[in-house]
Structure 1
Amino acid sequence: MRMSKDVNQGRRKFVKTSAAVAAGGTILSSFPITSFGVGTQSELRVGLVGCGGRGTGAASEALKTSKSVKLVALGETFEDRLSGAYSQLKSTFGNQVEVPDSNKFIGFDAYQKVIEKCDVVILATPPPFRPQHFEAAVKADKHVFIEKPLFVDIPGYHKVMETNELAKQKKLNVAVGLQLRFETGYQQMVEKINNGAIGDITSLNVYYNVGAPKIHPRQPGQTEMNYQVRNWRYFTWLWGGQLAGQAIHQIDVINWLMNDYPVTVNGLGGRQVFSGPNQGNTYDHHYAEFEYANKIKLHVQCRNIDNNWNKNGFHIQGTTGYADDKSRIYDPSGTIVWRYRDRDETIGSSQRCQSNFINSVLENKPLNQVEYGAKSTLATIMGRMAIHSGQVITIDQALASTKSILPKEFHWDAEMPDMPGADGNYEIPMPGKTEVL
């Protein structure tokens, strides 16, 4: 199958980018946390947009990197989340958190106000807002840490890639929250596999089987937008689906190993346990069969159902052995022939990822991770499109799509793409009927 010019270019860039990231991660892994932040910039003003758990965690990691980092602005759609994040970060980091009430912004336009106050912005809202926020940050000449996934539909992909061209022209640093690339054991394992440790790769498997997201019951007088954003993991336009929202980490590891991206995908899924208005319109289980240009297949299974067998990881099968998500390599008999043993429990891959970004800004070293972040996000969106439609989706078909799944406007009374019917239930995607292109 021929790949589009866009993806061929992405593949060539991926090889260069992934090599640089692997090298950077290996260097960071040899330093204690107190060695981070040795740059010359006296103060780095950071703003956070999206004050949920991931945003608070990312801000914490930025503050841990260097005493030069100061958190100066917070933006959120919900006041309680902003207050919780501020209290947690202030109690932990003290004077490094300097966010007066005048720099605490609530609403869909909060990102614009945060961007005005900082040198670096962390974007950690639900993903449909990411392309718009990224564009605003780059146009304002800010360095950006952008959480995964980067978008939820194909127009979002094109917006992110277009904005990244501007970021590169402006020499702005942009990092992506796909932190498993900074896992030292994975870096060493990928290198060994690429050097033939398991022979030729024959098949790939990814797992993300976990429980259901928390439900926030509908409140009296709550608008539809407010309700859906509170329950964003239950709405496709807000989450992008489980492949994008969760399994993207493991899928990205496989893309990194393959130095490539899938060119076609088919799949299936549904709602076996999710039911009723409180669980929106997302599926609770997914299976996708991706294929790379060299015909190697990646099998991905995901589940968001409580009280089940859970597994979060991957399996890489080769002609003379296999490897797993515990950074272990086996021979054909199942005997471990290599494992990563030098685990540093004090500095995780997420901290390394964030510190790499902050230090790149402090030390004025170029960094841009958008290529692989966007391409891996694109693969997950293709997977969801195949599962919802029941059709095989190719990279060419996906990139040609102009179909948006977002509301036309972002405000509390906006007209929503997914509205409950007379019985309170939302329309569920139906393979064979749902159009995704």
Structure 2
Amino acid sequence: MQERIEASDTDAPNTSDKSNRRDFLVKGSAVASGIGASALHVPAVHSAEAAAANSELVRIGIVGLGGRGSGALNDNLTINDNVQLVATADVDPAKHEGILPRLKKTYGDKIAVDAGKNFVGLDAYKRILDDPEIDLVLMTTPPGFRPKYVLEAVQAGKHVFAEKPSCVDPAGYRTCLVAHELAKQSGTAIVTGTQYRRQVNYMEAIQKIHEGAIGDIINMTARYCSTGIWYRARKEGMTDTQYQVYNWMHFIWLSGDQIAEQAVHNVDVMNWVMGGPPEQAYAGGGRFTRPDDSEMWDNMSVDFTYPGDRQVSFKCRQIRGTQSEVGNRIYGSNGTATILGSNGGAMIYDKDGNEVWSMKGNIQAAYKQEHKDLVDSIRAGEPIVELKQTADSSMTAVLGRMAAYTGQKVDWKFATEESELDLFPESLSFDNDLPEPSFAVPGQTKLT
């Protein structure tokens, strides 16, 4: 790890001749009342006349160069013309050295990162947000950082691609709601990494369900059961913060546990089908196979109650040697629908079990489509802002986790409006000591 970059370590940009760089970067915005003191400052933001902006260069900065970050970059650079990566930020300098040569070889002039634009450290993201040349920021850090970073990006007048989940606790959820409303008012886009919302077989199947193809929706089952997940052992000399960020999946303040970090895809489909978030969750689960210093559970089962007393039975699991199952089954008064994960396809059956419709899946196309929709919306001057729907789904996952960890029934209203749960450390630096890792025990872990 490398010491964080302070503002004094890099020259401040001269913005006097850059504020009118493009037609679609010049719109000022007033912020309406009710957003909150932390979100009151909004600089000039992006706007467009669609006819004039269709060919404008979109300059990209990325925060977080791990697997999902490199994936998002590949998707954006592949599907969009006249886009350019101009700056990167990560806590690990080795990430820059590893990914940029590969990208340059593949994408040529679309990679235009000057040596001084590879920022390192916990505060490196601020250098991206401070750069007036950057139009679009890809936020692909561990999830725990996401609410704060996305809000600050909107305050800086940037368009945003934000990976899922949007938040890992109620405090982060409320931050996301502020960022969503601020982006709508200021004319900046926020597209999120819920690729199933742009996977054609999912879109078609759920539209048919909403149009009555299986009658009234009665209940649903959702599964994200897999055989395991990565774990990175602590390296000699790492501080607590360095290690936990390095092995972020296994610390709840960073990942939110499997239900939030990975299974949120199924949770998002649940909310999509049901028309919004649930009213309540009741859950159980535990851990059998996790490393000693992992805070994660390895299985969780949640009964979600949706408006109209409709029930969704949800299960997620990461245990090696077990049978995988990823998909969703929706039960209606006149039939059923099955929507499988990844490329598994979607099918609708009548009440006698006869298949009446099906469509294959193409998840790779969906990954790319979210980035095309994002850039197209920026150039058209009609920025997509979809953070709230993903925050609702992320918070639904958190609701289920809160119920499982505590052994209590947890209401949506309590979790979103009253809960004081805020997992992010009060003070964070690479020199910090962090609390000893621990995992939740129902009956002992308190609902807060």
TM bracket (short chain): 0.7 to 0.9
8 Å CA contact 2:227, 2:323 repeated in 1: no
Code of the residue aligned with 1:269 in structure 2: it is: G
Alpha-carbon separation, structure 2, partners of 1:65 and 1:81: 23
- How much does 1:207 deviate? 0.7
Residue of structure 2 in register with 1:383 after alignment: 400
Report what 2:318 is aligned to. 304
Give the counterpart letter for 1:183 in structure 2. Answer: Q
Cα distance in 1 between the residues matched to 2:288 and 2:351? 37
Aligned to 2:368: 351
The residue identity in structure 2 corresponding to 1:56 is: S
Is 2:391 the counterpart of 1:374?
Answer: yes
Q: 1:330 to 1:38 in 2, by over 3 A?
A: farther
| Structure 2 counterparts to residues 317-336 of structure 1, below 5 A | 317-325=331-339, 326-336=345-355
The alignment status of 1:360 with 2:360, answered yes or no, reads no
TM alignment of 1:153-232, pairs within 5 A = 153-232=169-248
Greater fraction helix: 1
| C-alpha distance in 2 between matches for 1:207 and 1:82 | 36
Aligned to 1:338: 357
Mapped pair 1:434 → 2:442: no
Q: What is the CA deviation profile of residues 25-60 of structure 1, one whole-angstrom value per residue up to 9, with x for unaligned ones?
A: xxxxxxxxxxxx995242110000011111111111
Shift in Å at residue 87 of structure 1?
A: 2.5
In the TM superposition, what is the alpha-carbon distance from 1:335 to its structure 2 partner?
2.4
Kindly tell me: are residues 103 and 380 of structure 1, through their superposed partners in 2, closer, same or farther at Cα, counting changes over 3 Å?
same
**Distance in structure 2 (CA, Å) of the matches to 1:266 and 1:228:** 29
Please give the alpha-carbon distance, in whole angstroms, between the structure 1 residues aligned to 2:192 and 2:283.
Answer: 27
Aligned partner of residue 348 in structure 1, secondary structure? helix
Matched residues in 1 for 2:260 and 2:86: separation? 30
Moved more, 251-260 or 123-132: 251-260
Map of 1:61 onto structure 2: 75
Q: Which residue of 1 aligns with 2:48?
A: none
The residue type equivalent to 1:176 in the other structure is T
Tell me the residue number matched to 1:414: 432
Q: 2:100 aligns with which of 82, 86, 89?
A: 86
Partner SS state of residue 244, structure 1: helix
Where 2:439 maps in the other structure, the secondary structure is: coil
CA contact (8 A) 1:41 1:363 kept: no
Corresponding residue for 1:146?
A: 162
Hey, what's the Cα distance between the residues in 1 that align with 2:144 and 2:310?
31
Deviations 1:370-404 (A, max 9, x none): 12011111101111100000000001211211221
User: 1:252 offset after TM fit, Å?
Assistant: 0.9
Q: Specify the code of the residue in structure 1 equivalent to 2:399.
A: M
Distance 2:406 2:59 in 1: 45
Contact residue 224 and residue 327 of structure 2 kept, 8 A: yes
8 Å Cα contact 2:180-2:386 kept in structure 1: no
Say whether the 8 Å CA contact 2:159–2:190 is kept in structure 1: yes
Q: Which AA in structure 2 matches 1:339?
A: S
Identical columns (%): 32
Q: Distance in 2 between matches of 1:436 and 1:84?
A: 43
| Structure 2: segments with no counterpart, 5+ residues | 1-50, 340-344
Question: Once the 2 structures are TM-superposed, how far is the Cα of residue 315 of structure 1 from its aligned partner?
Answer: 0.8
The amino acid that maps onto 2:376 is: N
SS in 1 for 2:336: strand
8 A Cα contact 2:162 2:191, kept in partner: yes
- Cα distance in 2 for residues equivalent to 1:54 and 1:38: 33
Q: Give the match for residue 393 of structure 1.
A: 410
Q: 1:276 matched to which residue of 2?
A: 292
- Residue 287 (structure 1) aligns with: 301
Given that 1:265 and 1:392 are in contact with CA atoms closer than 8 Å, whether structure 2 keeps it comes out as yes
Q: How much has 1:142 moved relative to structure 2?
A: 0.6
Instruction: Look up the equivalent residue of 1:356 and give its one-letter code.
Output: D
User: CA–CA distance in 2 between the matches of 1:38 and 1:153?
Assistant: 42
Question: Number of paired residues?
Answer: 390
- Counterpart Cα distance in 1 of 2:53 and 2:80: 9
Shift of 1:290: 0.6
| Offset at residue 95 of structure 1 (A) | 0.8
2-side partners of 1:227 and 1:344: how far apart?
36
Partner SS for 1:391: coil
Match of 1:100 in 2: 114
The one-character-per-residue Cα deviations of 1:325-381 (angstroms, maximum 9, x if unpaired) are: 22101123332111125x668x51111111101111122223110120111111011
Are 2:374 and 2:383, in contact at CA under 8 Å, matched by a contact in 1? no
Per-residue CA deviations over 1:90-126 (Å, capped at 9, x if unaligned) read 2211110001220001110111112233111010101
Residue in 1 that maps onto 2:60: 46
Report the 3-state secondary structure (helix = DSSP H, G, I; strand = E; otherwise coil) of the residue aligned with 2:81.
Answer: coil
State the alpha-carbon separation in 1 of the partners of residues 428 and 168 from structure 2: 15
SS at match of 2:263: helix
> 217-226 or 329-338: which moved more?
329-338
Q: CA separation in 2, counterparts of 1:350 and 1:39?
A: 24
Q: Which runs of 5+ in 1 are unaligned?
A: 1-36, 420-425
2:404 aligned with 1:404: no
Cα RMSD (Å) of the superposition? Answer: 1.7
1:384-426 Cα deviation digits (max 9, x unpaired):
100000000001211211221111122112242x41xxxxxx3
The letter for the 2-side match of 1:427 is: S
Equivalent position to 2:147, from 119, 131, 136 = 131
What is the distance in 2 between the residues matched to 1:124 and 1:218?
A: 22
Describe the shift of the 1:264–1:65 C-alpha distance in structure 2 as closer, same or farther (beyond 3 A).
Answer: same
**After TM superposition, where is structure 1 displaced by more than 3 Å over at least 4 residues in a row?**
none
Cα shift readout 1:293-319 (whole Å, capped 9, x = no counterpart) = 211111111111111100111111112
* Offset at residue 430 of structure 1 (A): 0.7
Inter-partner Cα distance in structure 1 for 2:56 and 2:211: 43
